[in-house]
Amino acid sequence: MLNFILDILRGVVMGVSNIIPGVSGGTMAVSMGIYDRIIFAVNHIVKKFKESIKDLLPIIIGILVGLFAFAALIGHLLGTKSDTIPLTRLPTNFAFIGLILGGLPAIYKRVNMKKAGAFGIVLFVIFFVIVVALPLLVPPEARTVDHSIGIMLLMIPLGAIASATMVIPGVSGSMILMLLGYYDSVINAMNELRSGDFSAIAILLPYLIGLLIGIVSIAKLINFLLKKYPEYTFSAIFGLVIGSPVALLIQNKECFPIATAGNWAISIVCLIAGFVVAWLLARLEKTESKA
Protein backbone atom coordinates (compact mmCIF):
# COMPACT_ATOMS: atom_id res chain seq x y z
CA MET A 1 0.00 0.00 0.00
CA LEU A 2 2.85 2.37 0.86
CA ASN A 3 4.49 1.77 -2.52
CA PHE A 4 1.14 2.43 -4.22
CA ILE A 5 0.85 5.82 -2.46
CA LEU A 6 4.49 6.67 -3.21
CA ASP A 7 3.93 5.87 -6.89
CA ILE A 8 0.89 8.16 -6.90
CA LEU A 9 3.05 10.96 -5.47
CA ARG A 10 5.72 10.28 -8.11
CA GLY A 11 2.99 10.44 -10.72
CA VAL A 12 1.84 13.82 -9.34
CA VAL A 13 5.37 15.16 -9.84
CA MET A 14 5.35 13.81 -13.41
CA GLY A 15 1.90 15.32 -14.04
CA VAL A 16 2.99 18.76 -12.86
CA SER A 17 6.18 18.54 -14.95
CA ASN A 18 4.27 17.37 -18.05
CA ILE A 19 2.03 20.42 -17.97
CA ILE A 20 4.97 22.86 -17.91
CA PRO A 21 6.37 23.49 -21.41
CA GLY A 22 10.11 22.88 -21.34
CA VAL A 23 10.05 20.39 -18.48
CA SER A 24 10.33 16.75 -19.50
CA GLY A 25 8.18 14.17 -17.78
CA GLY A 26 10.76 11.63 -18.93
CA THR A 27 13.51 13.49 -17.09
CA MET A 28 11.44 13.57 -13.90
CA ALA A 29 10.75 9.84 -14.22
CA VAL A 30 14.48 9.18 -14.51
CA SER A 31 15.29 11.42 -11.54
CA MET A 32 12.72 9.58 -9.37
CA GLY A 33 14.00 6.17 -10.46
CA ILE A 34 10.80 4.98 -12.19
CA TYR A 35 11.70 5.59 -15.86
CA ASP A 36 12.86 2.01 -16.55
CA ARG A 37 9.77 0.61 -14.82
CA ILE A 38 7.46 2.74 -16.97
CA ILE A 39 9.20 1.85 -20.23
CA PHE A 40 9.23 -1.85 -19.33
CA ALA A 41 5.52 -1.82 -18.38
CA VAL A 42 4.57 0.02 -21.59
CA ASN A 43 6.59 -2.31 -23.80
CA HIS A 44 5.14 -5.43 -22.10
CA ILE A 45 1.56 -4.24 -21.59
CA VAL A 46 0.23 -6.98 -23.90
CA LYS A 47 2.43 -9.88 -22.80
CA LYS A 48 2.33 -8.99 -19.10
CA PHE A 49 -0.92 -7.07 -18.86
CA LYS A 50 -1.69 -7.50 -15.13
CA GLU A 51 1.85 -6.70 -13.99
CA SER A 52 2.08 -3.71 -16.33
CA ILE A 53 -1.26 -2.25 -15.22
CA LYS A 54 -0.32 -2.80 -11.57
CA ASP A 55 2.85 -0.78 -12.13
CA LEU A 56 1.28 1.93 -14.29
CA LEU A 57 -2.07 2.52 -12.52
CA PRO A 58 -0.85 4.50 -9.46
CA ILE A 59 1.53 6.52 -11.65
CA ILE A 60 -1.28 7.34 -14.10
CA ILE A 61 -3.57 8.36 -11.21
CA GLY A 62 -0.86 10.66 -9.89
CA ILE A 63 -0.19 12.15 -13.34
CA LEU A 64 -3.89 13.01 -13.76
CA VAL A 65 -4.01 14.61 -10.30
CA GLY A 66 -0.90 16.67 -11.07
CA LEU A 67 -2.20 17.76 -14.47
CA PHE A 68 -5.58 18.99 -13.23
CA ALA A 69 -4.19 20.53 -10.03
CA PHE A 70 -1.66 22.68 -11.90
CA ALA A 71 -3.75 23.54 -14.97
CA ALA A 72 -5.55 26.43 -13.23
CA LEU A 73 -2.31 28.20 -12.25
CA ILE A 74 -0.77 27.83 -15.72
CA GLY A 75 -4.01 28.98 -17.36
CA HIS A 76 -4.08 32.08 -15.15
CA LEU A 77 -0.43 32.99 -15.79
CA LEU A 78 -0.77 32.62 -19.58
CA GLY A 79 -4.24 34.18 -19.72
CA THR A 80 -5.59 31.30 -21.80
CA LYS A 81 -9.21 32.41 -21.16
CA SER A 82 -8.57 36.15 -21.27
CA ASP A 83 -9.26 38.46 -24.22
CA THR A 84 -6.35 40.65 -23.18
CA ILE A 85 -2.69 39.76 -22.76
CA PRO A 86 -1.76 39.55 -19.05
CA LEU A 87 1.60 40.92 -17.97
CA THR A 88 2.35 37.49 -16.49
CA ARG A 89 2.46 35.85 -19.96
CA LEU A 90 5.89 37.16 -20.95
CA PRO A 91 7.68 36.17 -17.70
CA THR A 92 5.94 32.78 -17.78
CA ASN A 93 7.08 32.10 -21.35
CA PHE A 94 10.60 33.30 -20.52
CA ALA A 95 10.59 30.78 -17.66
CA PHE A 96 9.61 28.11 -20.19
CA ILE A 97 12.44 29.22 -22.49
CA GLY A 98 14.87 29.04 -19.57
CA LEU A 99 13.70 25.50 -18.81
CA ILE A 100 14.33 24.52 -22.45
CA LEU A 101 17.78 26.14 -22.57
CA GLY A 102 18.78 24.59 -19.24
CA GLY A 103 18.15 21.12 -20.62
CA LEU A 104 20.18 21.67 -23.79
CA PRO A 105 23.63 20.76 -22.35
CA ALA A 106 22.38 17.33 -21.25
CA ILE A 107 20.82 16.65 -24.68
CA TYR A 108 23.90 17.95 -26.53
CA LYS A 109 26.08 15.41 -24.70
CA ARG A 110 23.96 12.67 -26.30
CA VAL A 111 24.37 14.13 -29.79
CA ASN A 112 27.31 12.41 -31.49
CA MET A 113 27.57 14.63 -34.57
CA LYS A 114 30.84 12.98 -35.61
CA LYS A 115 29.11 9.61 -35.82
CA ALA A 116 25.87 11.07 -37.18
CA GLY A 117 27.76 12.77 -40.01
CA ALA A 118 26.11 14.75 -42.78
CA PHE A 119 22.76 12.98 -42.35
CA GLY A 120 22.68 13.96 -38.69
CA ILE A 121 23.28 17.61 -39.62
CA VAL A 122 20.48 17.43 -42.21
CA LEU A 123 18.09 16.00 -39.60
CA PHE A 124 19.08 18.74 -37.14
CA VAL A 125 18.39 21.48 -39.71
CA ILE A 126 15.09 19.93 -40.85
CA PHE A 127 13.66 19.65 -37.33
CA PHE A 128 14.94 23.11 -36.38
CA VAL A 129 13.24 24.65 -39.42
CA ILE A 130 10.00 22.72 -38.83
CA VAL A 131 9.72 23.94 -35.23
CA VAL A 132 10.55 27.57 -36.05
CA ALA A 133 8.19 27.57 -39.06
CA LEU A 134 5.18 26.19 -37.16
CA PRO A 135 4.01 29.49 -35.61
CA LEU A 136 4.58 31.25 -38.95
CA LEU A 137 2.71 28.71 -41.08
CA VAL A 138 -0.34 28.23 -38.85
CA PRO A 139 -2.07 31.51 -37.89
CA PRO A 140 -3.75 31.63 -34.43
CA GLU A 141 -7.23 31.90 -35.96
CA ALA A 142 -6.69 28.55 -37.68
CA ARG A 143 -6.26 26.91 -34.27
CA THR A 144 -9.73 27.75 -32.97
CA VAL A 145 -11.05 24.81 -30.97
CA ASP A 146 -14.73 23.87 -30.91
CA HIS A 147 -16.58 20.63 -30.33
CA SER A 148 -16.85 19.69 -33.99
CA ILE A 149 -16.05 16.17 -35.19
CA GLY A 150 -12.99 17.46 -37.04
CA ILE A 151 -11.46 19.03 -33.92
CA MET A 152 -12.29 15.97 -31.81
CA LEU A 153 -10.51 13.73 -34.33
CA LEU A 154 -7.56 16.15 -34.45
CA MET A 155 -7.09 15.83 -30.68
CA ILE A 156 -6.24 12.12 -31.09
CA PRO A 157 -2.99 12.61 -33.08
CA LEU A 158 -2.14 15.63 -30.91
CA GLY A 159 -2.41 13.43 -27.80
CA ALA A 160 -0.31 10.73 -29.48
CA ILE A 161 2.44 13.23 -30.37
CA ALA A 162 2.45 14.70 -26.85
CA SER A 163 2.65 11.30 -25.15
CA ALA A 164 5.34 10.03 -27.50
CA THR A 165 7.63 12.94 -26.58
CA MET A 166 6.99 12.40 -22.87
CA VAL A 167 9.05 9.20 -22.91
CA ILE A 168 12.17 11.00 -24.16
CA PRO A 169 14.16 12.52 -21.28
CA GLY A 170 14.82 16.16 -22.11
CA VAL A 171 11.85 16.64 -24.46
CA SER A 172 8.59 18.20 -23.27
CA GLY A 173 5.24 17.00 -24.61
CA SER A 174 3.60 20.28 -23.49
CA MET A 175 6.24 22.23 -25.40
CA ILE A 176 5.31 20.35 -28.59
CA LEU A 177 1.62 20.99 -27.94
CA MET A 178 2.31 24.69 -27.41
CA LEU A 179 4.31 24.93 -30.65
CA LEU A 180 1.44 23.29 -32.51
CA GLY A 181 -0.87 25.94 -31.06
CA TYR A 182 -3.26 23.78 -29.02
CA TYR A 183 -1.74 24.01 -25.55
CA ASP A 184 -4.14 26.73 -24.36
CA SER A 185 -7.15 24.73 -25.57
CA VAL A 186 -6.17 21.62 -23.61
CA ILE A 187 -5.46 23.69 -20.47
CA ASN A 188 -8.83 25.44 -20.79
CA ALA A 189 -10.62 22.11 -21.26
CA MET A 190 -8.99 20.75 -18.08
CA ASN A 191 -10.06 23.79 -16.09
CA GLU A 192 -13.60 23.68 -17.53
CA LEU A 193 -14.00 20.01 -16.57
CA ARG A 194 -12.61 20.70 -13.10
CA SER A 195 -15.20 23.47 -12.64
CA GLY A 196 -18.06 21.15 -13.66
CA ASP A 197 -18.40 21.85 -17.39
CA PHE A 198 -18.63 18.30 -18.74
CA SER A 199 -18.76 19.50 -22.35
CA ALA A 200 -14.96 19.70 -22.07
CA ILE A 201 -14.94 15.89 -22.26
CA ALA A 202 -15.50 16.31 -26.02
CA ILE A 203 -11.94 17.69 -26.21
CA LEU A 204 -10.24 15.76 -23.40
CA LEU A 205 -11.56 12.26 -24.18
CA PRO A 206 -10.11 12.05 -27.72
CA TYR A 207 -6.92 13.70 -26.43
CA LEU A 208 -6.70 10.99 -23.73
CA ILE A 209 -7.27 8.30 -26.37
CA GLY A 210 -4.39 9.82 -28.35
CA LEU A 211 -2.19 9.79 -25.24
CA LEU A 212 -2.85 6.08 -24.76
CA ILE A 213 -2.19 5.33 -28.43
CA GLY A 214 1.07 7.28 -28.26
CA ILE A 215 2.22 5.57 -25.07
CA VAL A 216 1.49 2.06 -26.36
CA SER A 217 2.57 2.38 -30.00
CA ILE A 218 4.52 5.50 -30.99
CA ALA A 219 6.55 5.43 -27.79
CA LYS A 220 7.74 1.95 -28.73
CA LEU A 221 8.93 3.28 -32.08
CA ILE A 222 10.82 6.13 -30.42
CA ASN A 223 12.33 3.71 -27.92
CA PHE A 224 13.46 1.54 -30.87
CA LEU A 225 15.00 4.52 -32.66
CA LEU A 226 16.83 5.62 -29.51
CA LYS A 227 18.37 2.16 -29.18
CA LYS A 228 19.01 1.45 -32.88
CA TYR A 229 19.89 4.89 -34.26
CA PRO A 230 20.69 7.08 -31.21
CA GLU A 231 23.00 9.48 -33.09
CA TYR A 232 20.37 10.30 -35.73
CA THR A 233 17.50 10.39 -33.23
CA PHE A 234 19.27 12.80 -30.89
CA SER A 235 20.38 14.98 -33.82
CA ALA A 236 16.69 15.41 -34.70
CA ILE A 237 15.74 15.94 -31.04
CA PHE A 238 18.45 18.57 -30.61
CA GLY A 239 17.17 20.49 -33.65
CA LEU A 240 13.64 20.30 -32.28
CA VAL A 241 14.59 21.49 -28.79
CA ILE A 242 17.02 24.25 -29.84
CA GLY A 243 14.44 25.69 -32.24
CA SER A 244 11.72 25.76 -29.57
CA PRO A 245 12.79 29.01 -27.79
CA VAL A 246 12.79 30.80 -31.16
CA ALA A 247 9.32 29.47 -31.92
CA LEU A 248 8.02 30.53 -28.48
CA LEU A 249 9.33 34.07 -29.00
CA ILE A 250 7.59 34.23 -32.38
CA GLN A 251 4.35 32.94 -30.86
CA ASN A 252 4.44 35.58 -28.13
CA LYS A 253 5.61 38.57 -30.15
CA GLU A 254 2.38 40.40 -29.26
CA CYS A 255 3.65 40.58 -25.65
CA PHE A 256 6.66 42.71 -26.57
CA PRO A 257 4.94 46.07 -27.27
CA ILE A 258 3.01 46.07 -23.97
CA ALA A 259 5.91 44.91 -21.77
CA THR A 260 7.26 47.48 -19.32
CA ALA A 261 10.88 47.73 -18.16
CA GLY A 262 9.90 45.99 -14.93
CA ASN A 263 8.12 43.26 -16.90
CA TRP A 264 11.26 42.65 -18.97
CA ALA A 265 13.39 42.54 -15.81
CA ILE A 266 11.09 39.95 -14.21
CA SER A 267 11.12 37.97 -17.47
CA ILE A 268 14.93 37.82 -17.49
CA VAL A 269 14.93 36.64 -13.86
CA CYS A 270 12.35 33.96 -14.76
CA LEU A 271 14.50 32.86 -17.71
CA ILE A 272 17.56 32.47 -15.47
CA ALA A 273 15.53 30.66 -12.81
CA GLY A 274 14.09 28.29 -15.43
CA PHE A 275 17.57 27.59 -16.78
CA VAL A 276 18.93 26.79 -13.30
CA VAL A 277 16.00 24.47 -12.46
CA ALA A 278 16.35 22.52 -15.73
CA TRP A 279 20.14 22.31 -15.37
CA LEU A 280 19.80 20.96 -11.82
CA LEU A 281 17.19 18.41 -12.96
CA ALA A 282 19.54 17.24 -15.70
CA ARG A 283 22.32 16.87 -13.11
CA LEU A 284 19.94 14.89 -10.90
CA GLU A 285 19.08 12.64 -13.84
CA LYS A 286 22.77 12.01 -14.47
CA THR A 287 23.36 11.17 -10.81
CA GLU A 288 20.39 8.77 -10.73
CA SER A 289 21.57 7.08 -13.93
CA LYS A 290 24.93 6.30 -12.33
CA ALA A 291 23.34 4.96 -9.13
- Per-residue pLDDT tens over the stretch 66-86: 888 888 888 888 887 777 888
- Looking at residue 122, its pLDDT comes to 94
| Mean pLDDT across 267-285 | 83
Q: Which residue has the higher pLDDT, 167 or 252?
A: 252
Say if CB 151 and CB 203 are below 8 A apart. yes
Looking at the chain, the whole-number percentage of residues with pLDDT higher than 90 is 14
| Mean pLDDT across 207-232 | 81
Say if CB 145 and CB 151 are below 8 A apart. yes
- Looking at residue 286, its pLDDT comes to 58
Alpha-carbon distance 285 to 291, whole Å? 10
**Amino acid identity at 207:** Y
Non-local CB neighbours of 113 within 8 Å, separated by 6+ positions: 120, 121, 231, 235
How do residues 90-114 score in pLDDT, each as one tens digit? Answer: 999 898 888 888 878 877 777 777 7
- Looking at residue 22, its pLDDT comes to 64
Say if CB 226 and CB 39 are below 8 A apart. no
Say if CB 239 and CB 131 are below 8 A apart. yes
- Looking at residue 31, its pLDDT comes to 60
- Looking at residue 219, its pLDDT comes to 66
| Mean pLDDT across 173-198 | 84
Cβ-based burial of 46 (10 A; exposed 0-12, middle 13-18, buried ≥19) = exposed
Q: Grade residue 266 by pLDDT with cuts at 50, 70 and 90.
A: very high
Max mean pLDDT range (21-35, 62-76, 170-184, 274-288)? 62-76
Q: Among 110-119, 215-224, 258-267, whose mean pLDDT is lowest?
A: 215-224
Cα angle value 40/224/155 (rounded, 5°): 85
Q: Grade residue 123 by pLDDT with cuts at 50, 70 and 90.
A: very high
